[in-house]
Amino acid sequence: MHWGYFHPIGFLLLAGLLIITIILLKQRYYENPHNSHTAINILEERLAKGEISIDEYKTLKETIKK
């Protein structure tokens, strides 16, 4: 059969790729941003645990921002 520009297998592959992409993007979007381990977040956690002083925190934060 001649399907012209519409081929069923190509359409199914494209639809499957689109569905997979949507699922992966939704998973990434709904991740808890508080679990990210950026340098500032780690520094804040260390301050909260008492591993570093406020002065050390300020110094390290300025160093990270540079």
Same domain for 41 and 27: no
Same domain for 43 and 16: no
User: CA 32 to CA 28: how far, in whole Å?
Assistant: 9
Which tens digit of pLDDT belongs to each residue from 38-66? 888 899 999 999 999 999 999 999 998 87
More confident site: 38 or 1? 38
Which tens digit of pLDDT belongs to each residue from 2-22? 666 667 788 888 899 999 999
Same domain for 24 and 5: yes
Same domain for 44 and 58: yes
- Give the N- to C-terminal CA distance of the chain in Å, as an integer: 64
Residue 34 binned pLDDT confidence (cut-offs 50, 70, 90): low
Q: Find the domain containing 44 and state its range.
A: 34-66
pTM (predicted TM-score): 0.45
Number of structural domains (the chain) is 2
pLDDT reported for residue 28: 74
